[in-house]
Amino acid sequence: MCRIGNLADFVRPTIDSVEVISMNRLPVRANQTVRANQTFRYPIAILQYRRRTVRIDLAMAMMIVVLISSIATRSVAQSPEDSSAGSEGGEAITRVVAVPPMPADQIASVFQKARASDAIETVPADENLAVKDSNASEQSDDDPLQGWIAQLGSTEFAAREQATVALRRIGQPALRSLRETAANHADIEVRTRASDIADGIVQGEAAGRIDAFLAGHDVSMDGWNVATKILGDGVRIRELYVDLVMRHEDVAQSLNGSSADRQTALRSAIVRIQRGMFVEQRLPTESDAIALLLLMNDRSVVTNRLDEGALFSVLQKEASSLLFKDAQLSEPFRQLLAGWMTRDDVSNRQEILWYSMSWDLKEVLPMVVTTLKKVTDPVTLGMACQAVARFGVADDTEHVRPLLTDQRPVSEQQFMAQRFSSGVLVQTQVRDTAMAAIVLLKGRKLSEFQMSDDARHPKYGFIIDQIGFPIEDAKPREDVLQRVRSELLKEQPDA
């Protein structure tokens, strides 16, 4: 199957034709011709959108097929000038007020506060009585309802259709009785119709809630009260969150749950995303990336190298570039990335350091400092020196100073004729990366310390392979090291 684009891409699109494709590739048409340049106000799936082919999952298709006819009808009837009016009673649609995202260093506190407040909430006795009274009231008014349900088994088709229409109009109050009928009635015709009517009521209510949510109304959505604290609020953020809920309902629900709930949701989301990538040949979406990052920002959710690898496989796809290009989603995405990357227990530090520099995530500097202090792998330390040269300030030289004695190599041996005489074999050591970082943090040029200015890099601080010194002649390196200590670090000669 082809991938579906982010559901948010199809909010208010101008379309030419509509078609829903199930996973078995059988077309399910809405039996409706939609005129060109018609504007929809609801996230829908389209087969041809600006010459792009789109296919969607069967689970989403089931909901969209039910909605598309009513949506198209409403869109035809409503002119662009009327789009500011609500669908019921002429109520004006509330505009979404943009709210900035939470800073990366505060995201973990959202989940910490949630854990601290985790307690079993008991329902007061009077509320229990109110619920019972409400149920009793519903039961007392069930006679007309039961009559319509009984009519679903009529021998006359017109009578069955009349009952179906009546029950759909009743809506939510009939839902419980319809579910019971669908489960227990002896007549298969009644069971089938009751189940279909109940599903239609639920889907119709969900569609209305989503529509109101996207319009900015205060509508309850699973996990939104937590997500909006972290992501902020805005039109695009709400569109993205609707897509997240439709693809990863368990993730949205876990945001209001415990860390154990989020741990379980993380495993399920990874399996779901990887099945889409490797079995269904479907690229991950922006909501896939956000779902994983939200869960991994809970420091009590245990992650391993495989979990991080799954996230990296998503970040390497188009979804990341789309999020960075989106004016409203870029900053929340950056903060989520930085919040996850600054976890103390991250395993793939080399990849994290590379991505943080590639994406200009200055917020990861605390993680870089932690890496310099705790990690022993020479290649990782070299990359940390690159990162501190990229994001740090002059005072950060103190975090790099201890590496000036580390003589372990961080690059392969190579011949370099630009800086030294032809045929000289050079290699970069950890202390060379530390010297380069100190030089740059102090605002000096690499060429002032026998390192090529060509090694300077706007994203990665400097190129490690281009700052090495001769292997067989230790004097050039020792001379530069002494100058760095005396001129830049102000160390005494006997230090």
- The structural domains of the chain, with segments of one domain joined by +, span 7-80, 99-119+223-344, 152-219, 348-495
Report the alpha-carbon distance of residue 197 to residue 216 in Å, rounded: 29
Contact 453, 447 (CB under 8 A): yes
pLDDT of residue 66 exceeding 70: no
Q: How many CA atoms lie within 13 A of 174 on its CB side?
A: 29
pLDDT of residue 350: 93
Report the alpha-carbon distance of residue 237 to residue 399 in Å, rounded: 38
CA distance to 28, 48, 81, 286, per residue, from 36 (Å):
20, 11, 18, 28
pLDDT of residue 210 exceeding 80: yes
Report the alpha-carbon distance of residue 100 to residue 335 in Å, rounded: 11
pLDDT of residue 458: 94
Lowest average pLDDT, out of 23-27, 90-94, 286-290, goes to 23-27
pLDDT of residue 469: 93
Specify the DSSP class assigned to residue 449.
Answer: G
Identify which of 189, 190, 186, 162 has the alpha carbon closest to the alpha carbon of residue 178: 190
pLDDT of residue 144: 82
Burial (CB count within 10 angstroms: exposed 0-12, middle 13-18, buried 19+), residue 359: middle
- The arithmetic mean of pLDDT across residues 303-318, rounded, is 94
Q: Which of 4-18, 23-37, 341-355, 386-400 has the highest mean pLDDT?
A: 386-400
Helices 104-116 and 259-278: crossing angle in degrees, nearest 10, is 130
Contact 270, 310 (CB under 8 A): yes
Q: Which of 10-19, 152-161, 446-455 has the highest mean pLDDT?
A: 446-455
pLDDT of residue 23: 32
Q: How confident is the model at residue 424 (pLDDT cuts 50, 70, 90)?
A: confident
**φ, ψ for residue 233 (rounded to 5)?**
-140, 155
Q: How confident is the model at residue 417 (pLDDT cuts 50, 70, 90)?
A: low
Listed in sequence order, the residues at least 6 apart from 370 whose beta carbon sits closer than 8 Å to its beta carbon are 344
Report the alpha-carbon distance of residue 115 to residue 98 in Å, rounded: 28
Taking the CA atoms of 80, 81, 86 and 88 in sequence, report the sign of the dihedral they define. negative
Contact 42, 11 (CB under 8 A): yes
Contacts of residues 24-28 at CB distance under 8 Å and 24 or more positions apart, as own/partner, are 24/58, 25/1, 25/55, 28/61, 28/65
Report the alpha-carbon distance of residue 143 to residue 148 in Å, rounded: 9
Query: Chain-wide mean pLDDT for the chain?
Result: 79
Q: How confident is the model at residue 239 (pLDDT cuts 50, 70, 90)?
A: very high
pLDDT of residue 158: 86
- The arithmetic mean of pLDDT across residues 439-457, rounded, is 94
- The arithmetic mean of pLDDT across residues 117-145, rounded, is 46
207 vs 289: which has the higher pLDDT: 289
pLDDT of residue 17: 39
- The arithmetic mean of pLDDT across residues 120-126, rounded, is 41
Structure tokens, 494: 């006997």
Q: How many CB atoms lie within 10 A of CB 63?
A: 20
pLDDT of residue 89: 41
- The arithmetic mean of pLDDT across residues 206-226, rounded, is 87
Question: What percent of the chain clears pLDDT 70, i.e. is strictly above it?
Answer: 73
Report the alpha-carbon distance of residue 364 to residue 367 in Å, rounded: 5
Q: How confident is the model at residue 76 (pLDDT cuts 50, 70, 90)?
A: very low
- The arithmetic mean of pLDDT across residues 96-109, rounded, is 88
Contact 58, 23 (CB under 8 A): yes
Lowest average pLDDT, out of 137-141, 209-213, 481-485, goes to 137-141
pLDDT of residue 185 exceeding 50: yes
Which contiguous run of DSSP H or E holds residue 39?
strand 38-39
pLDDT of residue 233 exceeding 90: yes
Report the alpha-carbon distance of residue 320 to residue 308 in Å, rounded: 15
CA distance to 13, 15, 82, 214, per residue, from 93 (Å):
19, 23, 11, 10
Q: Which of 78-92, 96-110, 119-133, 309-323 has the highest mean pLDDT?
A: 309-323
pLDDT of residue 52: 41
Length of the chain: 495
- Tokens 């103390």 found at: 344
Lowest average pLDDT, out of 74-78, 175-179, 292-296, goes to 74-78
pLDDT of residue 95: 63
Longest alpha-carbon distance in the chain: 105
Contact 411, 464 (CB under 8 A): yes
pLDDT of residue 295 exceeding 80: yes
Lowest average pLDDT, out of 133-137, 146-150, 288-292, 331-335, goes to 133-137
- Tokens 């099945």 found at: 275
Identify which of 64, 405, 410 has the alpha carbon closest to the alpha carbon of residue 210: 64
List the end-to-end C-alpha distance of the chain, in Å, as a whole number. Answer: 66
pLDDT of residue 353: 95
pLDDT of residue 163: 87
Q: Which amino acid is at 385?
A: C
Structure tokens, 180: 């019971």
Identify which of 401, 467, 459, 405 has the alpha carbon closest to the alpha carbon of residue 433: 467
pLDDT of residue 13 exceeding 50: no
Q: How confident is the model at residue 421 (pLDDT cuts 50, 70, 90)?
A: low
Q: How confident is the model at residue 268 (pLDDT cuts 50, 70, 90)?
A: very high
| pLDDT, tens only, 374-412 | 999 999 999 999 999 999 999 999 999 999 999 999 999
Report the alpha-carbon distance of residue 397 to residue 410 in Å, rounded: 20
pLDDT of residue 340: 95
pLDDT of residue 252 exceeding 90: yes
pLDDT of residue 429 exceeding 60: yes
- The arithmetic mean of pLDDT across residues 341-359, rounded, is 92
